[in-house]
Amino acid sequence: MTLSVRTKLVAASLGFLLLGSLGATALNLALLRSWVEEGLRERAIAFAREVAATIGDQRELEGSARLERQIIEILIVRPNVLQVDILAFSGGDTRVVASSNPRERLPFNRPDGREVRAGRVVSHLVTMPTERSWEVMAPIRLQGAVAGAVAARFSIDRSDRLSTRIRSWSFGLTAALVVVEVVLMGLVVRLFVDRPIRRFLDVIRRLETGDTQARVGLRTQDEFGVLAESFDGLLDRETGFQEELRTRVAEATAELDRRYREVERLNGLLFTMQRTLSQVDRLALAGRIMAEVAHEVGTPLHSVAGHLELLRRDLPAAVLTDGLARRFGIIERELSRVTEIIAQLLDLTRRAPGEPIDVDLNRVVLETLDLVRPGLAAARLALRTELAPDLPPVVGHATPLQQVVLNLVTNAMDATPPGGRLVVRTRTAGDAVSVEVEDTGEGISGPRQKEIFEPFFTTKAPGRGTGLGLYISAQIVRDHHGRIEVASEPGRGSTFRVVLPVAVSVAR
């Protein structure tokens, strides 16, 4: 359950007030009780001294009958006096001359007796199951010497009952005051804290529903007033910025629509060209086609790409709606597809520059795998390499051969589901070396194995491939006087093998 700020403040105030008030009340009551007990002790001592002062000579001290009558009168007048004993000292002995309870002597011990013989008053607070009392013993002085003592027990039960009532009333009044203070605190919090916060929350809810004109409008001189003024100013600036952004987005959307239609037209022209030209004509006239493509498609394509980049820079990321993001994605995919098709068609007519040289296939494989390692990690594919040591070089061009290895590895990655494995190995077989790319993908059926090296044939989903990768790879391998083979079974993966002759000097 989520508590509001008001509830938290009131609960915290209640806790602090309750703890503070009850603690202070408990301390005051403890001090009051201590003071009352001390006052009763002083009264008990004064009473014992007064009784001791009424005994004027040794005869009165030894007149037990008179003393007992006096004790009875005292007990009648003072009901809080529970017991009185008159003691006489003779040498080292102590005897009870008179007592209100002859069967039970007040329990003063020998150290107490020594204190009284020395002329000092002894007092003890006694706690029993039914009541509490003060027991005091005061010396009786005759002719300057201590001749005996008055021992008395005073009940403080009445004081305890009064303290209990005072404690109950004090705690009750304290609790009532705490409740009143909490109610007042709740009202103050509601007026000065809860109400401004609710105004802020109401404006936020209205903004979430699309009401851009909602404002707090709090005009106070406290922190909430300053915060409301700043918040309203921020909303005003944000509204102006949103209006400007909407205008720019509308202009950008119109421009994107125009460029998108242009890309669709160019893509339709290219697709129609691919479908209408025969395979032989496309291969024979590839150079002329690419010249026309470079002239007719290249310039608009670069223009579209440039405008797309400018629009992406101008538009803040925060204002890209789902519709704009989708259109950006469509344009990027179409541009990438057209660029890939043009690049691959150009590869059909290009020849590697320069004279052939000795090429280390192990190095070509390692450099190619370094390029695709991030893609392997993203696709969650395992890679194992088995490179033959001392692999003899082949004669040719490193860049086209790297393109062959890259095509085979990327095709294997596309055909292998996450968690699968790729194995790339090199071997020596007589006067030839081979590069093998093995995957654990879906495999290729027998009839399709005869078509995969044909131009524009692909097993990938629509829009993901042009069908020229393996055709170009086979052409490059043939240019290097080699061959490319495939071994595959549906559901068990595929292995593509490129076999190339070793350099003549090495073969000899």
Could you read off the pLDDT of 144-199 as tens digits, one per residue?
Answer: 788 888 888 888 877 777 777 877 787 788 778 878 877 887 787 777 777 777 77
What pLDDT score was predicted for residue 195? 74
Reduced to 3 states (helix: H, G, I; strand: E, B; else coil), residue 462 is coil
Q: How far apart are CA 227 and CA 385, in angstroms?
A: 64
What pLDDT score was predicted for residue 423? 94
Q: How far apart are CA 483 and CA 503, in angstroms?
A: 16
Whether domain 5-166 has CATH 3.30.450.20: yes
Band (pLDDT 50/70/90 cuts) for residue 306 is: low
Distance in angstroms between the alpha carbons of the first and the last residue of the chain: 87
Q: Which residues contact 331 (CB under 8 A, 6 or more apart)?
A: 256, 259, 260, 263, 304, 308
What pLDDT score was predicted for residue 296? 61
Check the CA dihedral 310-315-316-318 and report its sign.
negative
Mean pLDDT, residues 301-327 taken together: 69
Reduced to 3 states (helix: H, G, I; strand: E, B; else coil), residue 93 is strand
298 is written with which tokens?
């290249």
Q: How far apart are CA 154 and CA 83, in angstroms?
A: 7
Asked if 203 and 215 count as a contact pair (C-beta separation under 8 A), the reply is yes
The ranges assigned to domains in the chain are 5-166, 215-351, 354-501
> Is 436's pLDDT higher than 90?
yes
> β-strands 421-429, 382-386: how paired?
parallel
Band (pLDDT 50/70/90 cuts) for residue 285 is: very low
What pLDDT score was predicted for residue 384? 93
> Is 19's pLDDT higher than 90?
no
> Is 434's pLDDT higher than 90?
yes
Q: What is the largest CA-CA distance in the chain?
A: 158
> Is 386's pLDDT higher than 70?
yes
The mean predicted confidence, pLDDT, of the chain is: 78
328 is written with which tokens?
């950006």
What pLDDT score was predicted for residue 405? 92
Query: Phi then psi for 56, rounded to 5 degrees?
Result: -95, -25
Q: Identify which has the larger pLDDT, 313 or 469.
A: 469
Q: Identify which has the larger pLDDT, 123 or 12.
A: 123
List of long-range contacts for 129-135, beta carbons under 8 Å, 24+ apart: 131/155, 131/156, 131/157, 131/160, 132/156, 132/157, 132/160, 133/82, 133/157, 134/37, 134/40, 134/41, 134/44, 135/106, 135/107, 135/108
> Is 374's pLDDT higher than 90?
no
Mean pLDDT, residues 287-314 taken together: 62
> Is 421's pLDDT higher than 90?
yes
**What share of the chain has pLDDT > 90, as a percent?**
13
Check the CA dihedral 41-45-50-54 and report its sign.
positive
Q: How far apart are CA 262 and CA 273, in angstroms?
A: 17
Phi-psi region of 490 (alpha: psi -120 to 50; beta: other; left: phi over 0): beta
Mean pLDDT, residues 7-19 taken together: 70
Q: Identify which has the larger pLDDT, 363 or 316.
A: 363
What pLDDT score was predicted for residue 469? 78
List of long-range contacts for 101-107, beta carbons under 8 Å, 24+ apart: 106/135, 106/137, 106/151, 106/152, 106/153, 107/135
Q: How far apart are CA 360 and CA 396, in angstroms?
A: 10
Residue length, the chain? Answer: 508
| The model's pTM | 0.38
Structural domain 354-501, CATH architecture: 2-Layer Sandwich (3.30)
Which range is most confident: 8-12, 420-424, 468-472? Answer: 420-424
Q: Which residues contact 153 (CB under 8 A, 6 or more apart)?
A: 81, 82, 83, 84, 106, 126, 133, 134, 135
What pLDDT score was predicted for residue 284? 47
Q: Identify which has the larger pLDDT, 97 or 408.
A: 408
Q: What is the pLDDT of residues 20-73, one digit of tens each?
A: 777 777 777 677 777 877 877 888 788 888 877 777 777 777 766 777 777 787
- Residue 498, CB half-sphere, CA atoms under 13 Å: how many? 29
Q: Identify which has the larger pLDDT, 399 or 302.
A: 399
Mean pLDDT, residues 447-460 taken together: 72
Mean pLDDT, residues 439-449 taken together: 84
60 is written with which tokens?
């009165």
Mean pLDDT, residues 289-315 taken together: 63
What pLDDT score was predicted for residue 383? 92
Band (pLDDT 50/70/90 cuts) for residue 218 is: confident
Asked if 424 and 406 count as a contact pair (C-beta separation under 8 A), the reply is no
Q: What is the pLDDT of residues 224-281, one digit of tens each?
A: 777 777 877 777 787 777 788 888 888 888 888 888 888 878 777 776 665 554 444 4
Q: Which residues pair with 139 in a beta bridge?
A: 149
Reduced to 3 states (helix: H, G, I; strand: E, B; else coil), residue 477 is helix
Reduced to 3 states (helix: H, G, I; strand: E, B; else coil), residue 307 is helix
